[in-house]
């Protein structure tokens, strides 16, 4: 299966959403782990994910802060940002901080899978 070697860290304060998405990715052959806050995401870096899928707006440490911290400790990680309500300025900030792409909620699963594969390919090309 195409996703077998790709490790994904999902970060969203909506626990049910993160768990459901992790399960759906696992069913497709990916290795997925969910975190429900920015601090949990940074602690989960020991999982050594290839791709992180981050919610942009979370209480406490938001997705942009998590993105910046992940890139400091793990520059090769590829990051996909998710948002339900970001404006152009927030999206631009995400790209400037190193996001591979920004996807809108409600999430289109095919679009997410394609984005994960492209992000992983970009990581492999850089590495």
Question: What is the Cα–Cα distance from 106 to 5, expressed in whole angstroms?
Answer: 26
Q: What is the structure's pLDDT at 87?
A: 84
pLDDT tops 60 at residue 3 = no
Question: What is the Cα–Cα distance from 4 to 28, expressed in whole angstroms?
Answer: 8
In 22-59, which positions are buried (b, 16+ CB within 10 angstroms) versus exposed (e)? beebeebebbbbbbbbbebbbebbeeebbbbbbbbebe
Mean pLDDT of 68-87: 91
Residue 116 vs residue 3, higher pLDDT: 116
Strands 101-104 and 78-83 turn out to be parallel
Residue 58 vs residue 2, higher pLDDT: 58
* Mean of pLDDT over the chain: 92
Q: What is the structure's pLDDT at 123?
A: 86
Please, which pLDDT band fits residue 1 given cuts at 50, 70 and 90? very low
- Domains (ranges, CATH) in the chain? 7-126 (3.40.50.2300)
Mean pLDDT of 28-47: 95
Q: Give the chain's largest Cα–Cα span.
A: 37
Question: What is the Cα–Cα distance from 52 to 66, expressed in whole angstroms?
Answer: 10
């Amino acid at each position: 299966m195409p996703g077998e070697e790709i490790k994904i860290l999902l970060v969203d304060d909506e626990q049910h959403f993160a768990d459901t998405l992790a399960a759906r990715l696992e069913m497709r052959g990916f290795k997925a782990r969910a975190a429900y806050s920015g601090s949990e995401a940074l602690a989960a870096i020991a999982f050594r994910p290839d791709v992180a899928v981050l919610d942009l707006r979370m209480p406490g440490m938001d997705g942009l802060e998590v993105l910046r911290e992940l890139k400091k400790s793990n520059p090769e990680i590829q990051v996909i940002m998710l948002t339900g309500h970001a404006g152009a300025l927030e999206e631009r900030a995400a790209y400037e901080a190193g996001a591979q792409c920004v996807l809108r909620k409600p999430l289109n699963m095919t679009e997410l899978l394609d984005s994960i594969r492209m992000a992983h390919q970009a990581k492999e090309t850089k590495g």
